[in-house]
A = this chain, B = another copy of it.
């Protein structure tokens, strides 16, 4: 199992707009081979931003990588470059292998 997380620093005061963007998007992930689960997480607040992270569970890393090379991925990220004013810096990707599970 593989967990793909993308961390976003959202400028304070723009949290509601950021959450609305995600609530309205349609990624068609459910049709992607190996996709298991999507969540959007709201994390700790700092003085100048609130940390958010997307959290996607995949059968394995290969399934995730195949998705990043697909047309479905390009379509899902078509508008990702806009609304830079919402963010401090670029999103930070982190991929995790699940090595223990209870």
Contact = CB atoms under 8 A, between A and B. Distances in A.
A41 B102 contact: no
Interface of A: 3, 19, 22-23, 29-30, 37-44, 51, 53, 55, 94-102
Contact of A40 (B19, B29, B43, B100): B100
A78 B97 CA distance: 27
A76 B95 CA distance: 27
Main secondary structure of the interface of A (DSSP, over half): strand
Number of copies: 2
A64 to B, nearest CB: 13
A95 B41 CA distance: 9
13 contacts: A3-B41, A3-B55, A19-B99, A19-B100, A22-B100, A37-B101, A38-B102, A39-B98, A39-B101, A41-B98, A42-B99, A43-B94, A53-B96
